[in-house]
Amino acid sequence: MRTIYLGLLAVSWMAITGSPALGLVVPDSECTCNYQYWTAPPCHITADTCNRTDGGVTTTDPGDPDSVSGGSMCCDNTGGPCCEQNSPLTCSQELRVSYTEAVSVSVASGIEAGIPGIQASLSSSIGHSTQREQSYALNCQVGPVSGCATAGVEAQMSITVGIETQMVHSYSWTVEWTGCEDNSPTQWPCAQTRTSTASGSSWGSGSCVGTGPC
């Protein structure tokens, strides 16, 4: 992944000398660029490493609101031969609604090291990182329902679908020297980055929602 030139020319790497690269040391084969240096004895390279810096997770699509339905109840006040004379009726019942988040993570092709950490960060960026399933038990009530009428209610949970996030991975070489006028480690940044992504859905709050006549 790198080419080193040894010759009699003065070193040209001084212009980009800087602090050692931060981030995870990864296999040379993962780096997205080569580096090239001219060196003049007695100055020579003693070590070089490819470093990857994983950027923060950003949201590229916040998703769209939606809902899922759970248990339902019908309050029926149509009983009796003269139901129009029935007293108004109020019904209540515990209804449940559940939802399991769906999260899909795609680690960028070419990445070889630290994959579990990338997956964990992207997965937790969608929804609730320590809990993927939620269930609400709701005390739902409907009424008063007049005689000869019905009214329904159901448990619903708000959700967000189509959430998309990403993490950008940048690369650089860190080169160490000896015998040079300046032996400070040199950082050679790579222009090409890689991007890992995640997509999925997340749950929100639960509520009792009227559904009209039933």
pLDDT value of residue 184: 77
Listed by start position, the domains of the chain span 3-212
Please work out, in degrees rounded to the nearest 5, the angle formed at the alpha carbon of residue 163 by the alpha carbons of 160 and 165: 150
Q: How far is C-alpha 2 from the geometric centre of its chain's CA atoms? A: 33
* 3-212 topology per CATH: Proaerolysin; Chain A, domain 3 (2.170.15)
**Residue 148 class from Cβ within 10 Å (0-12 exposed, 13-18 middle, 19+ buried)?**
middle
pLDDT value of residue 22: 64
Number of alpha carbons in the 13 Å side-chain half-sphere of residue 91: 20
15: left (phi over 0), alpha (psi -120 to 50) or beta: alpha
* φ and ψ at residue 114, rounded to 5 degrees: 65, 25
pTM of the model as a whole: 0.76
CA 192 to CA 172: how far, in whole Å?
A: 10
140: left (phi over 0), alpha (psi -120 to 50) or beta: beta
- Tens of each residue's pLDDT in the chain, 214 residues: 344 333 322 233 332 333 444 688 999 999 999 877 666 678 877 888 899 999 999 999 999 999 999 999 999 999 988 898 999 999 999 999 999 998 999 999 999 999 999 999 999 899 877 778 999 999 999 999 999 999 999 999 999 999 999 999 999 998 888 887 777 778 889 999 999 999 999 999 999 999 999 9
pLDDT value of residue 19: 42
